[in-house]
Structure 1
Amino acid sequence: MLTAKCHNGSMPVLHDEVPDDDDFDAGRKRGEFDHITPDDFVRASGSGAGSGSGRGGTPVPPGWLDRQTIDDLRSKMPIPYIVVLPVHTDEYGRISHVGTLLTASDEDGTVSRTLIAGRVVVHETIREAIVRNIARDLGDVTLPHLPASLQPFTVAEFFPTPGVSPYFDARQHAIALCYMVDMVGECQPKDETLDVEWVRPEVALAPEFLAQLPNGFDRILVQGLNAAGV
């Protein structure tokens, strides 16, 4: 099989992909994205800040918004989100375990279950958003096996008004594309994630387990497993 290479022996970079230093077109001008490295997209959190400083005054790449700006936008328009249901599969591709994240409430420290969720930021594809948000919550060595198709198993519409839909987010109106992703590597809780717990599908579907997933995430888990034939 023939493979086209560039004059320096490295493979060409996809259009607007963030370049590594040794990529043949690493010097190509990308406007406000000129000084971004691939690691920037992994390090930045889903709630990050914009053109300026993030947590602790650390600079973050364009596409992340400061708290005041994102709060203002959340009050005026829907925000695009992705939700990831992490799973492990066996040698036949059947779901063997389902992962849920344990997080603590900022208000009173109450521990609850949730799924991976985060915004899609400017200049980011859905695939990149999935990988970045997985890395933010579960570390850089999860080796997620992304689905071949980007068709979500459901679309969850979160509203800040209780009762409008089964999905509730007091901060915003969010439209979330929901994906099931097989984690092949090691999951290490990061950022605001205290732990990740893996249970068998029949345990995850038990009413007492689903009751621990608030704000509609229980429905997302059930819909994901149903879509996979569980």
Structure 2
Amino acid sequence: MSDADILETAASWLEEEELAYVRERVPTVYVEAIPVRANHLGEVEKVGLLLRPRPDGSVSRAIVSGRVLYGETVREALWRHLTKDLGPEADPLLPAEVAPFTIAEYFPTPERTGFSDIRQHAVSLVFIVPVTGECAPSQDALEFSWLTVEDATSPLVATEMSGGQDILIRRAMAHVGRLP
């Protein structure tokens, strides 16, 4: 299957009204990716974060995130969102075995899990993905930045993130042995 075949997935499988109806009743499957730059030993040195507008009109730092569409594999969804958010020259390196490092459960309020999305209950498969190419924000992202591990896990950057994604950054860095 070529990259073009993967990217031919329909942009939306439900109209906005239908999606809102489903979001109120059924958990939605998402993929999330934390882009990283690693050195020649595979040690994570940088974390990539987007700056994007939120549904409520605010702006926040975010990781790559999006729904898995009907008929789409997790690998295809992960590739689609990485190339959509980071640009066609990003060159993300998907692992041979597509298995998330963790799962995040988003609820309309953060009390249950620390992860929240006011629109829905979502189950997200979260991946750490090395990226070797040049990244440029696309679609709705305003900016893309590479931060040091220390900066990405800092309290200041945590205040710039929403929905609990700062927790995912810290968990990812702990997973790769880089939590400062």
TM (normalized to structure 1)? Answer: 0.72
Partner Cα separation in structure 1 for residue 123 and residue 84 of structure 2:
20
Alignment of structure 1 residues 1-150 onto 2, 5 Å: 17=1, 38-41=6-9, 48-49=11-12, 64-108=13-57, 110-150=58-98
CA distance in 2, matches of 1:209, 1:223: 15
In the alignment, structure 1 segments of 5+ residues that lack a partner are: 1-16, 21-36, 50-63
8 Å contact from structure 2 (residues 110, 163) kept in 1: no
1:177 aligns with 2:125: yes
Residue 39 of structure 1 and its aligned partner are, at CA, apart by: 4.0
Q: Are residues 1:158 and 2:126 paired? A: no
Give the residue type in structure 2 aligned to 1:199. Answer: L
Residue 227, structure 1, aligned to residue 180, structure 2? no
The amino acid of 1:228's aligned partner reads V
From the superposition, tell whether residues 19 and 84 of structure 1 become closer, same or farther in structure 2 (CA, over 3 Å).
Answer: closer
1:19–1:207 Cα change, 3 Å: closer
What is the alpha-carbon root mean square deviation over aligned residues?
1.9
Code of the aligned partner of 1:76: R
Quick one: which amino acid aligns to residue 197 of structure 1? S
Q: Please give the alpha-carbon distance, in whole angstroms, between the structure 2 residues aligned to 1:107 and 1:207.
A: 23
Contact 2:105 2:115 in 1 (8 A): yes
Task: Report the identity percentage.
Answer: 34
SS at match of 1:218: helix
Aligned partner of residue 132 in structure 1, secondary structure: helix
Give the Cα–Cα distance (whole angstroms) in 2 for the partners of residues 19 and 137 of structure 1.
Answer: 15
Q: Check whether the contact 2:51–2:142 (CA below 8 A) recurs between aligned residues.
A: yes
**How far, CA to CA, are the matches of 1:167 and 1:93 in structure 2?**
29
Q: What is the CA distance between 1:154 and its match in structure 2?
A: 1.0
Change (3 A) 1:128 1:112: same
2:138 maps to 190
Q: Residues of 2 paired with 1:185 and 1:139: CA distance?
A: 9
Given that 2:94 and 2:129 are in contact with CA atoms closer than 8 Å, whether structure 1 keeps it comes out as yes
TM-score, normalised to structure 2, is: 0.91
Aligned-pair distance for 1:129?
A: 0.6
Shift of 1:106: 4.6
Shift of the 38–228 alpha-carbon distance from structure 1 to 2, 3 Å rule, reads closer
Aligned length: 178
Cα offset, 1:81, TM superposition: 0.5
Amino acid at match of 1:140: P
What CA distance in whole angstroms lies between the structure 1 residues aligned with 2:120 and 2:35? 24
Gaps of 5+ in 2: none
> How far apart in 2 are the matches of 1:95 and 1:161?
32
